[in-house]
Structures are given as structure tokens and as C-alpha cells.
Amino acid sequence: MSLLAGCGRVADLEPAPGQPLPVKPLMARATPTPAELLTAPPYARPERVDELVRRSEPRKPDAFDLPPPTGSAAPPEPAGTDPDPVTNETGPAVPQ
């Protein structure tokens, strides 16, 4: 347990001895500091929007919320087509 207690030490992060900080990004005006590199940009942690419904309101009519024209039935087969018979036979494939 004594090893586990030692891993929670908090210290400033620094590059390894003899290692420089990362190079300046191409479009940046200056090389970022370690604190700037560790700070998350605003888009990484967007604010949450919790808009609670305080009272029930009817929905506005939606022109695109329509049932299918055939009453949700599958479209009929085109006239003049004969569906292929389905069999459970297995065997070599024969080209048609």
C-alpha cells in the first residue's frame, strides 16, 4: 500500500532532462507554454444545455410527418415479373 500512496504526488510537469518542449505549431505566433499545452480548448469541453420542459405544449404541425402513401405496405411487384422460386436445395451453381 505504501507504493500506491506515493503515486498521487502532484508536481509541475516539465520535459525530460535534455529534451526541449514541442516545436512551435506552424500557424502559431509563439511556442505554447506547458500550461497552455495542458489547457483543454473550449470545444473539447462544450457546455451542456439542459433545457427542461416546464409545461407540456402541443407540437407544431410538421409538413414532412406523413404516413407512407400505401399505408406502410410493401410496394407491389411490377406487372409482368415472375419472382424466382425459392428452394432449400444445395448444389453447384449453374449459370443462367
Instruction: Look at the block and give the residue holding cell 432449400.
Output: 88
Note whether 31 and 24 are within 8 A (CB): yes
State the Cα–Cα distance between residues 44 and 82, nearest whole angstrom: 57
pLDDT for the residue 17: 87
* Rounded CA Rg of the chain: 33
Over residues 72-82, the pLDDT tens digits come to: 666 667 766 66
Q: Which pLDDT tens digit goes with each residue over 24-67?
A: 888 988 888 878 888 888 888 777 777 777 777 787 888 888 77
Dmax of the chain from CA atoms? 83
